[in-house]
Amino acid sequence: MSIQGFEEWLATPQGQYVLDWELGRHDLLVADIFGFNAVQIGLPQHDFLRANRMPLRLRCDERQRETAVAGLQTDLHQLPFATTSVDLVVLPHLLEFDENPHQILREVERILVPEGHVIVTGFNPYSLWGARRKLTRRKAAPPWRGNYISVPRLKDWFALLGFETRGGVFGCYAPAVTQEKWLRRLQFLESAGDRWWPFAGAAYILQAVKRVSGMRLITPVWRDRKARAEALAPVTQRLDVRKDGQ
Query: pLDDT for 109-162, tens place per residue?
Result: 999 999 999 999 999 999 999 998 888 766 678 898 889 999 999 999 999 999
Looking at residues 213-232, what average pLDDT do you find? 57
8 A C-beta contact, residue 62 and residue 74: yes
CATH architecture type of domain 6-245: 3-Layer(aba) Sandwich (3.40)
Cα(220)–Cα(19) distance, integer angstroms: 35
Cα(11)–Cα(174) distance, integer angstroms: 18
In 3D, which of 215, 129, 219 has the Cα closest to residue 177?
A: 129
pTM of the predicted structure, to 2 decimals: 0.84
**In the β-sheet with 56-61, what is the strand arrangement from edge to edge?**
71-73, 56-61, 37-41, 86-92, 112-123, 203-210, 163-171
- Would you state the pLDDT for residue 182? 77
Q: How many CB atoms lie within 10 A of CB 7?
A: 15
| Helix, coil or strand: residue 23 | helix
Query: pLDDT for 65-100, tens place per residue?
Result: 554 455 788 999 999 999 999 999 999 999 999 999
Sign, CA torsion 130/97/65/227: positive
* Start-to-end Cα distance in the chain: 27
pLDDT range class, residue 190, cuts 50, 70, 90: confident
Q: Average pLDDT over the chain, rounded to whole?
A: 85
Considering 9-18, 208-217, 224-233, the range whose residues carry the highest mean pLDDT is 9-18
Q: Which residue has the higher pLDDT, 237 or 31?
A: 31
**% of the chain exceeding 90 in pLDDT:** 60
Least-confidence region, from 52-56, 160-164, 225-229, 241-245:
241-245
| Helix, coil or strand: residue 91 | strand
- Would you state the pLDDT for residue 18? 96
Domain borders along the chain are: 6-245
8 A C-beta contact, residue 178 and residue 14: yes
In 3D, which of 111, 124, 127 has the Cα closest to residue 232?
A: 111
pLDDT range class, residue 45, cuts 50, 70, 90: very high
The phi-psi region of residue 31 (left if phi > 0; otherwise alpha if psi is between -120 and 50; otherwise beta) is alpha
